[in-house]
Structure formats: structure tokens, C-alpha cells
Amino acid sequence: MRGGRHIAAVTGASFDLAAGECLALVGESGCGKSVLASALLGLLPGNARTAGSAVVDGIELLGADERTLARTVRGRRIGLVPQSPAAHLTPVRTVRSQLEETLRELTGTPRRDVRRAAVVAAERAAFPADHLDRHPHELSGGLAQRAATALALIGDAPLLLADEPTTGLDRELVDRTADELRRHADEGRALLMITHDLAAAERIADRVAVMYAGRIVELADADAFFGKPGPRHPYARGLLNALPERDFAPIPGLPPELGDLPDGCAFAPRCDVATPACGTRPALVNGSACHHPLGVDAPRSQEAHRA
């Protein structure tokens, strides 16, 4: 709720995620990706409301109480690489002490072994051992990100939520972090990666979900999304075409405010294949929520539609 109004930050999101699979959730800032992750972990503001069902490892998350979430879900069944790691690290404790405490709590590592285990945990996320005795405020953004990733990986949770896990990293570390997350999935766990980095998504994802204005508008196999035939939704195609290694052509306009969505398709005001039919909201059918999915209906110019 905002200003006395109800704002639907995420609506009708539906997907499954199997053990051993990576789903990349992509889209522009403000489209609802991180809100979805927070809802799964019970980390939304107190005035937020959720409806529906989200089941992980036999536990219904949206109806779980705080005690269940704190003691059974967070860290044990769902690991989180947070979007703002500095805010999730304890400011008055070193990275080493936080890793050691998490190891004891989640894995039962004996005190005599915990120091070495903390070094190994740091190495998984490419966090340098000579920085382990630093406090969070002494870390760069990239190092804080790697510390948070190391903490998230410790419990080997059945589901890992990685919210922008490569923020602040150079390309080499992006690839290394992505590969470690992929290894987490390859060992039989599920990975939901929320990212703006389509190159990282292409590197490790099995499927891609594209979110726009609080809704999933495309759900596709990664090979088809990044290769042939490519995305079917015009917005998803625009995200790819905006990449420097592709057309480097930005999508015109700005996303709508979630409290002021247009009737029908929320992307229609920015879409060059929109028609009067887009005045009604399209359902997600065959992986695309579009009245004119690319590769199915031949895209025509907006001027032709108006003629």
C-alpha cells in the first residue's frame, strides 16, 4: 500500500523451478523482480499483502509465520544473495566471524574446524582470504557482494535466490560467480537468479522469465531465448537488442508506474507492433503474454496498424 492506495507490485506470477535448474528472472528496474524474491522469504514491509501459493521443499511460504520462516526457511531451505549486501552484513563483525557463525548454525561445523571451513566458504565466492578479518564498511561493493554470496552458499539450501549477484564485479569475477552459482544448481539444487546482466543469464540459465510492470510477459528456454528463434514478446526482444554486442538500441520510453498502469497491455505505449487489440490484457500463452508474439504474427509497423 502506498499513500492509502493499493499498489500491485507483482501480479499473476506463476512458474515452477526444478532441482538442478536455473531460472533467470530479468527485466528493467522497478518491474517487481526483487519484490517477488522478498515475498518468498517473508521480507516484505509490514503493510504488504500476498495471495496465492509458493511451495519450497514442502513448505507453503506465503502462509508461513515468522518463526517458521526464520528457523526453517531462511538459510536452510532458501539461501539469499541480497541485492544490497552491505545492508545484510552485520556491520560490527568481521566477515570471518559471520562466516564461522553461519557454518556452525547451518552445518554444525565443529569449532576446531570452523576457521578452515570459513576460508573454504570464502573461496567458493572468490572472496580473498586476506580480507576475512575486515568489517563490512572496509569492503568495496564488489567484495561485499562476494561476502554475501559466500554466506548464501554455506547452507547448500534446496533453493538459492540470487538477487543481482554480479553487481559491482568485473567481467572475470562475474563469470566466476555465475559459474559457482551454476555449480550449486548442477549439484541438484534450484537457482532463481534475478539479474540485469543478460550475459550472465545466458551463461548459466536453463530458462528465462521476463518481467514487465509486475507481470511475467515471457517464459522461454534459454537456448531459444538467446538464440533461435529468440524472444517472442516485443519487450523481451527489445531487452536483447539493447545489448552492446547486439543492436545497442534502447527501448523507447519508460516503464509505467505500478500505481498507474495503462489498461490492457502495459507495454503497448512503448511497442511498435501495438494494435487496438492491445487495449485488453493478454494472457501468458505458449510462453508469451502478447497479442502479437514475434515469429507468430508477422510484426507490422505502428503506422500500418493505424491505417
CA-based angle 174:35:13, to the nearest 5?
Answer: 100
Residue 167 has what pLDDT?
85
Over the stretch 108-146, which tens digit does the pLDDT of each residue have?
999 999 999 999 999 999 999 999 999 999 999 889 999
Nearest to 210 by CA among 180, 242, 178: 242
Fold of 22-228: Rossmann fold (3.40.50)
As a whole number, mean pLDDT of residues 52-73 equals 94
145 in Cβ contact with 176 (< 8 Å): no
Position 301 pLDDT exceeds 50: no
Confidence of residue 3 (pLDDT cuts 50, 70, 90): low
Judge whether 134 and 94 are in contact, CB under 8 Å: yes
Please state, in angstroms and rounded to a whole number, the distance separating the CA atoms of residues 167 and 106: 26
Mutual angle of helices 95-107 and 141-153, in 10-degree steps: 20
Choose from 8-12, 84-88, 129-133 the range with maximum mean pLDDT. Answer: 129-133
The answer to whether 24 touches 239, Cβ cutoff 8 Å, is no
Asked if 136 contacts 144 with a C-beta cutoff of 8 angstroms, the reply is yes
Find the angle CA(21)-CA(27)-CA(29) to the nearest 5 degrees: 130
| Cα–Cα distance for residue pair 277/281, rounded to 1 Å | 9
pLDDT at residue 72 greater than cutoff 50: yes
Query: What cell does 106 get?
Result: 547451518
Single out the residue of 85, 91, 57 nearest to residue 150, CA to CA.
Answer: 85
| ∠ CA 286-204-143, rounded to 5° | 130
Q: Are 107 and 68 in contact (CB under 8 A)?
A: no
Averaged confidence pLDDT in the chain: 91
pTM of the full structure: 0.90
pLDDT tens, position by position, 183-216: 999 999 999 999 999 999 999 999 999 999 999 9
Is a pLDDT exceeding 90 seen at residue 307?
A: no
Banded model confidence at residue 302, pLDDT cuts 50, 70, 90: very low
pLDDT value of position 303: 34
Residue recorded with cell 505458449: 286
Confidence of residue 30 (pLDDT cuts 50, 70, 90): confident
| pLDDT of 254 above 70 | yes
Looking at per-residue confidence, does 232 or 86 come out higher?
A: 232
| Separation between Cα atoms, residue 62 and residue 55, nearest integer Å | 8
Q: Which residues contact 207 (CB under 8 A, 6 or more apart)?
A: 21, 22, 23, 24, 219, 220, 221, 222
What is the per-residue pLDDT for 4?
A: 61
